Amino acid sequence: MKKSLSIVLVVVMLTAVLAGCGNGGYKDGTYKASFKDFDEHGWKGFVEVVITDGKISDAKFDYENEEGALKSEDDEYNKTMKDASGTSPEEFSPKLAENLVEKQNIDKVDTVTGATHSVDDFKELAKAALKNAKAGNTEEVIVEQKAENE
């Protein structure tokens, strides 16, 4: 009887430990990271990640200008980029965010052809936001943007 009880307790404890490890150690809340400065085109990238039950349940990625307008909603910018590279923020911003929610791991997010720089921005910002999610720190992370030639 004591042996059976011991086995049951060990199984229960292992299940609890493994369940806690499976979520990446994220604490529930909304976490945001943005670049400190606007780029040479007047845009500043940001990521917002929502953690629910220890998992990434929602994410948003975009760029905003000084007036607060979003790059994904700028028709002229989207048309120009689509013509030049085959994609646009209107397409790749939600795709990257959805991919993060689906894969639950920023390192497994797929690259988007024609938007390499933006994918790099997304990953850098998401890593900063998720670092805060592990600590449960909901203060916005301000990230120094790397120079484009780095």
Q: What is the pTM of this model?
A: 0.82
Task: Identify whether 52 is part of a domain.
Answer: yes
What CATH number has the domain bearing residue 69? 3.90.1010.20
Mean predicted lDDT score pLDDT of the chain:
87
pLDDT band of 127, cuts 50, 70, 90:
very high
pLDDT band of 145, cuts 50, 70, 90:
confident
Task: Identify whether 1 is part of a domain.
Answer: no
pLDDT band of 5, cuts 50, 70, 90:
very low
Task: Identify whether 38 is part of a domain.
Answer: yes
Burial 48-72 (b: 16+ CB within 10 A, else e): bbbbeebebeebbbbbbeeeeebbb
Percent pLDDT > 70 in the chain is 81
User: What is the predicted pLDDT for the residue at 9?
Assistant: 44
Long-range interactions of 12-15: CB distance < 8 A, separation 24+: none
Task: Identify whether 149 is part of a domain.
Answer: no
